[in-house]
Amino acid sequence: MNDENTLNPNSAPAVVYDKNNLFPSTLKRRVLLNKEGTDKETLHLEMCLAGSGLEYCPGDSLAIVPTNSAEVVERTIEAGGFDPGEKVEIKSGATKPLGEAFTSALAITGLTKIILKKYNDFAQSEKIETLLDPENRATLEDYLWGREVVDMLTDFPIPGLSASDFCGILRQQPPRLYSIASSLKAHPDEVHLTIAIVRYHSHGRDREGVCSTLTADRVNEGETMPVYMHGNKRFKLPEDGEKPIIMVGPGTGIAPFRAFVEERIATGVTSKSWLFFGDQHRETDYLYGDEWERYLDEGKLSRIDLAFSRDQDHKIYVQHRMLEHAAEMWTWLSDGAVFYVCGDASRMAKDVHEALITIAEKEGGKSREDAEAWVKQLNSDKRYRKDVY
C-alpha cells in the first residue's frame, strides 16, 4: 500500500546536504592507478555517501571544498610577516584566527591580476604598477606563470600590512569539481573519483594543487572530506538506450566513461559502445585497464582504441586513432551514435573537434564549410556532448 500519510523512516533524510550544508564523506579506499615507473600520479578514490541522501547520475560531478596544507599556510603567514593568532573577519561575518582562516576559508595560492591590483592599493609599488600597465601584458603573464600569493608577498613586502587588510583582497576558497567515475547503481552509497595529483617545482619552490594533494596526502582512509553534488544535465547517457555511443576520454577524462559503462551494464543497455582512451604509457598508465579488457571480453564494451603518446618516437593521441578509423566513425555517427568527449579543454578537445570535422570532410564527402555545419548540427541535436576543463 502506498499511503502518502504513512511516514517512512527511511525515505527522506532529516538533513539536506548541498553546497550550503556540506556532507562529510568518508574516504573508504584510495588506489594509485599508475604502475611503478610512471611519471604520473592518478588516484582512484572511493567515498561513502551512506546516510547523506545524496544521489547522482553518470555525467554529474562531485564538489570537494578543500583546506590548505599547514605548510602552505605557514609559508604564507611567514612571507607576510603576519601574526597567526590575529582575528580576521571572513565572508560569513564570523571572525577567526588568521591561521584558521588561511586553512579553511580563503584561497591563498592562486595569483591573479586582480589580486595583484588589490594588493597594490596597499603596496603602492611602482614595479607592480608597471606590471599592471596594459602595455606590459606579456610581462605580467610571465610574472604570474607558476607564481602564487606567497611569491607576491615575498617579492613586494609591505611592512606592517594588517592581516585583515590582506584577507580583504583574497577570494573565498572555491570548491573543486571532479567528474564522477562510478554508477550509483553499481556502487550503492558510494561515489568514485579519478584525480590527477598536481605537484611541480617553479621559481625555486615545490608547489602543489590544493585539492588534489588534500585527497592524496592529507586525508587518510576512514577520514572525511566536505562534499556536495553538482549535476550536469548536458553530459548524460542517451535517453534512447538503442543509440550507440562513442566516448573520447584521455587521462582523467576517462572518469565519466567508467560511470557510463557501469550504468549501462547495471541497466541492461546493450547498444554499441566505443571508447577512445590515451595516456603516456600502456605499461604504467592504462587507467582502469583491467576493467576495460574484461568488459571487452564480456561484450559489455563493443570496442576500444588506445593512444599511448609516449610508447613510440612520435606522439599518438586519441584524435589520431579517430582519424585512423574515420570510415567506421562515420558509419557509427551516420547510424545515430552520440559522441562524448571529456578532459583537457585547452588542446585535446579542440583537436578532437577538428578531427570530427576532418572525418565529415573525408568520409562524408563534405566541403570544409559543410563539415563544420554538420558538426554544429551534431551539437544542436545533443549528439556531441562535452565535459572539458
Residues in contact with ligand NAP by the rule CB under 6 A: 40, 42, 196, 198, 250-252, 278-280, 309-310, 315, 317-319, 343-348, 351, 389
- Closest contact distance (angstroms) between CB of 215 and ligand NAP is 12
As a whole number of angstroms, the distance between CA 304 and CA 275 comes to 5
| Beta carbon nearer to ligand NAP, 98 or 254 | 254
Are 210 and 109 contacting, i.e. CB atoms less than 8 angstroms apart?
yes
- Closest contact distance (angstroms) between CB of 282 and ligand NAP is 10
- Closest contact distance (angstroms) between CB of 73 and ligand NAP is 22
| Beta carbon nearer to ligand NAP, 171 or 200 | 200
Instruction: Determine the 3-state secondary structure of 364 from DSSP.
Output: helix
Torsion of CA 376, 380, 383, 387, to 10 degrees: 80
Q: What is the DSSP annotation of 325-336?
A: THHHHHHHHHTT
DSSP strand pairing (338-343 vs 384-388): parallel
Are 277 and 254 contacting, i.e. CB atoms less than 8 angstroms apart?
yes
Q: What is the DSSP annotation of 368-383?
A: HHHHHHHHHHHHHTT-
As a whole number of angstroms, the distance between CA 227 and CA 104 comes to 14
| Beta carbon nearer to ligand NAP, 176 or 264 | 176
Among residues 77, 73, 237, the alpha carbon closest in space to that of 153 is found at 77
- Closest contact distance (angstroms) between CB of 320 and ligand NAP is 8
- Closest contact distance (angstroms) between CB of 340 and ligand NAP is 15
What the block records as the C-alpha cell of 6 is 504513512
Chain residue whose CB lies nearest ligand NAP: 251
- Closest contact distance (angstroms) between CB of 79 and ligand NAP is 25
| Beta carbon nearer to ligand NAP, 347 or 382 | 347
Cell 579553511 found at: 104
- Closest contact distance (angstroms) between CB of 343 and ligand NAP is 5
| Beta carbon nearer to ligand NAP, 132 or 388 | 388
As a whole number of angstroms, the distance between CA 192 and CA 176 comes to 15
- Closest contact distance (angstroms) between CB of 72 and ligand NAP is 17
As a whole number of angstroms, the distance between CA 33 and CA 191 comes to 17
DSSP strand pairing (61-64 vs 224-230): antiparallel
Which amino acid belongs to residue 256?
P
- Closest contact distance (angstroms) between CB of 319 and ligand NAP is 6
| Beta carbon nearer to ligand NAP, 48 or 246 | 246
Cell 564538489 found at: 63
Instruction: Determine the 3-state secondary structure of 174 from DSSP.
Output: coil
Q: What is the DSSP annotation of 118-149?
A: HHHHHH--HHHHHHHSGGGHHHHHHHHTT-BH
| Beta carbon nearer to ligand NAP, 330 or 389 | 389
Are 59 and 237 contacting, i.e. CB atoms less than 8 angstroms apart?
yes
| Beta carbon nearer to ligand NAP, 269 or 329 | 329
- The residues facing 196 across adjacent strands are 42
| Beta carbon nearer to ligand NAP, 320 or 366 | 320
Q: Taking phi first (over 0 means left), then psi (-120 to 50 degrees means alpha), and beta for anything else, what does residue 343 get?
A: left
- Closest contact distance (angstroms) between CB of 315 and ligand NAP is 6
| Beta carbon nearer to ligand NAP, 254 or 360 | 254
- Closest contact distance (angstroms) between CB of 317 and ligand NAP is 3
Using a 10 angstrom Cβ sphere, with 0-12 exposed, 13-18 middle and 19 or more buried, the burial of residue 178 is: buried
| Beta carbon nearer to ligand NAP, 238 or 251 | 251
